[in-house]
């Protein structure tokens, strides 16, 4: 296999322009979800996975499908249900009567963008079947490891846990997600725009008819990842990330603070955001911009704080306001 081309400023700028065009392209199908689009792009640059949380009907599924169409990537969808088995996700051995042998039938996880729809509606055994795929980027069936395609991203949607019939994700699996993005209800004007599009014949199942076209591809992602890896992180910025994460471990509102893996994740997402905004170095504002989506699912509130109306976002926001910012 030939070596990838050397990274140049032209490659980096071209990749950035292509990824910036994603927002315009996805907007042809999805109205008013720019932060979620940016979060998904950051996750792709960091080779991470995303948890999308929002009430049913706010275009979480459509958002992932539009991203795949804009990047010319393969995508598959799994509807998680209470009776879904792990083999329904990863694949299984199937007996072939003609050859009298077992052959591997790949599951939907063998794709570039896996949409795990309503992941908290399935029991923990099936939820955990994604762990190896997300962490190791491979699936082991009958003792044989099988690598997954590259790039590979799991975008799992979940309904808020107060809905009936849900199984909250365990901390071990939550920590495997790079970002937790909230997908809010649209504003009044955005909702009017959605209805207007549907009245004009928009079909969410036919993105090509909606005008969504590939504007970037795997080569752009690879060039972008190389550029992100070269983004400078000063010792002061690294210390700032550590101070934020250590403050969560000392917060009286939290039973569980951010682990060192969470600190590493925050540094990675801040680097990707810095590069996307056109810089080759990380600033404290980059860290602040990605702190909420990177950390909100890695902390656990104390029951008494939860009863008082404290939220993970409010705790992190307060910590950001109190931790000294490097100059």
Q: Give 145 or 282, the one with higher predicted confidence.
A: 282
- 320 band by pLDDT with thresholds 50, 70 and 90: very high
CB neighbourhood size of 5 (10 A): 11
Whether residue 1 is predicted with pLDDT greater than 50 in this model: the reply is: no
- Give the DSSP H or E segment for 38: helix 34-45
- Which of 7, 46, 15, 44 lies closest to 270 in space, CA to CA? 46
Q: Hey, what domains does the chain have and what are their CATH numbers?
A: 1-217 (3.40.50.300), 231-326 (1.10.8.80)
What's the average model confidence in pLDDT over 81-97?
Answer: 86
pLDDT at 50 over 70: yes
Residues 6+ apart with CB under 8 A from 315: 248, 251, 253, 254, 299, 301, 305
**Of 194 and 131, which is predicted with more confidence?**
194
The model's pTM is 0.88
Highest mean pLDDT range out of 134-138, 207-211, 216-220, 264-268?
Answer: 264-268
- Strand order from edge to edge, sheet including 75-79: 75-79, 113-117, 153-158, 50-53, 179-182
Residues in CB range of 99: below 8 A, 6 or more apart: none
Percent of the chain scored above 70 by pLDDT? 95
Are 122 and 81 in contact by the 8 Å Cβ rule? The answer is yes
Res 104 pLDDT > 60: yes
Average per-residue pLDDT for the chain:
89
Q: DSSP letters of 189-239?
A: HHHHHHHHHHHTT--TT-TTTTT------HHHHHHHHHHHHT-B--HHHHH
pLDDT for the residue numbered 303: 93
Question: 231-261: b or e for each residue (b if 16 or more CB lie within 10 Å)?
Answer: bebeeebeebbbbbbebbeebebbeebbbee
Residue % of the chain over a pLDDT of 90: 53
From start to end of the chain, where are the E strands?
A: 50-53, 75-79, 91-96, 101-106, 113-117, 138-141, 144-147, 153-158, 179-182, 254-256, 300-301
Question: What pLDDT is recorded for position 39?
Answer: 93
Confidence grade of residue 271 (pLDDT, cut at 50, 70, 90): very high
Residue pair 215/21 in contact (Cβ under 8 Å)? The answer is yes
Whether 162 has a pLDDT exceeding 70, the answer reads: no
């Amino acid at each position: 296999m030939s070596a990838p081309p050397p990274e140049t400023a032209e490659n980096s700028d071209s990749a950035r322009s292509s990824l910036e065009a994603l927002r315009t392209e996805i907007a042809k199908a999805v109205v008013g979800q720019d932060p979620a689009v940016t979060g998904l792009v950051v996750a792709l640059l960091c080779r991470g996975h995303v948890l999308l949380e929002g009430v049913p009907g706010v275009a979480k599924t459509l958002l992932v499908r539009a991203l795949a169409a804009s990047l010319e990537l393969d995508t598959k969808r799994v509807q998680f249900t209470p009776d879904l088995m792990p083999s329904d996700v990863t694949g299984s051995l199937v007996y072939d009567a003609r050859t009298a042998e077992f052959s591997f039938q790949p599951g939907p996880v063998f794709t570039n963008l896996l949409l795990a729809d309503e992941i908290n509606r399935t029991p923990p055994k099936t939820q955990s079947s994604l762990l190896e795929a997300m962490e190791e980027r491979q699936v082991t069936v009958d003792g044989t490891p099988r690598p997954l395609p590259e790039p590979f991203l799991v975008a799992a949607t979940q309904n808020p846990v107060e809905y009936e019939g849900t199984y909250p994700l365990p901390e071990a699996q939550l920590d495997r997600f790079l970002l937790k993005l909230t997908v809010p209800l649209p504003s009044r004007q955005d909702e009017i725009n959605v209805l207007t599009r549907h009245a004009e014949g928009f079909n969410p199942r036919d993105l090509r008819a909606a005008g969504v076209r590939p504007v970037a591809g795997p080569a752009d992602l690879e060039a972008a990842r190389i550029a992100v890896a070269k983004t400078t992180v000063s010792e002061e910025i690294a210390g700032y990330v550590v101070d934020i994460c250590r403050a969560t471990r000392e917060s009286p509102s939290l039973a569980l603070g951010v682990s060192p893996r969470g600190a590493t994740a925050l540094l990675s997402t801040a680097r990707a955001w810095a590069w996307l905004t056109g810089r080759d170095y990380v600033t404290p504002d980059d860290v602040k911009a990605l702190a909420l989506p990177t950390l909100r699912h890695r902390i656990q509130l104390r029951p008494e704080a939860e009863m008082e109306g404290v939220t993970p976002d409010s705790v992190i926001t307060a910590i950001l306001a109190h931790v000294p910012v490097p100059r």
